[in-house]
Amino acid sequence: MKTIIKALVFDAYGTLFDPLSVASLCDELYPGHGSALSQLWRSRQLEYTWLRSLMGRYEDFWKVTEAALVFASRTLGLPCESPARERLMQAYLSLKPFPEVPDALRALRGYPLCILSNGTREMLRVVVKNSGLEDVFWQVISVEEARIYKPSPRAYELAARKMGAEPGAIGFVSSNFWDAAGAKAFGFFTCWVNRTNAQSEELGFVPDATGRSLTELAQMLTRA
């Protein structure tokens, strides 16, 4: 690896924490609909961040997540009143890390580690604490400060500024190709965690490194 990486920045949702781990609760509340609800909820959540950024109408990620849940439930013909809505929203604070995440992060502790996420500061504080990873990260950064969502360059600029490094010296890790592409466009060295063997998107940028798991990418980075 020719680039000298001085710090690593991780996306949170979908990369470290599994948004679809809410499917079991969705199925408990709405038997037979857990998978469909969790997947539509997640896809609409992402779409709302992009749309709000384009509209210039920022709302924080907690409100976006709730709006996406309401839409997904209505689309599937499922009631979403309290206390079911509250239980599902609270589940987002206890999302499970992907299985390899704790060991992979420990293997990478030779780097300063940081999170850059669309999540609110409070959402991130709680999910990191609940996963037992609060002593791992040097900083946990929310796009709240920029009031715009990834893949806006303003979101990635937050990480570069707070990490005190040039973009090319920062490794950015995401399981979302659009996120890796946005980070690459900004100037980060990008790593794509392609757990599902997905096809690359046609966005004009490709990741610098790709692995099927965070473990694979950790091995690449520690060999560098």
* Topology at the third CATH level for domain 7-17+96-223: Rossmann fold (3.40.50)
| H helical segments located in the chain | 23-29, 34-55, 61-75, 84-91, 101-107, 121-130, 153-163, 177-186, 214-223
**CATH 3.40.50.1000 domain residues, the chain:** 7-17+96-223
CATH 1.10.150.240 segments of the chain: 19-94
Tokens of 199: 């096809």
Per-residue pLDDT tens digits for 155-211: 999 999 999 999 999 999 999 999 999 999 999 999 999 999 999 999 999 999 999
Q: Report pLDDT digits (tens) over 72-86.
A: 999 999 998 889 999
CATH class of 19-94: mainly alpha
Residue pLDDT, tens place only, 101-117 = 999 999 999 999 999 99
Mean pLDDT of the chain: 95
pTM for the complete prediction? 0.94
Q: Which residues are catalytic?
A: 11
**Beta-bridge partner residues of 77:** none
How would you label 7-39 residue by residue, b for 16+ Cβ within 10 Å and e otherwise? bbbbbbbbbbbbbbbbbebbbebbeebbebbbe
Note whether 120 and 60 are within 8 A (CB).
Answer: yes
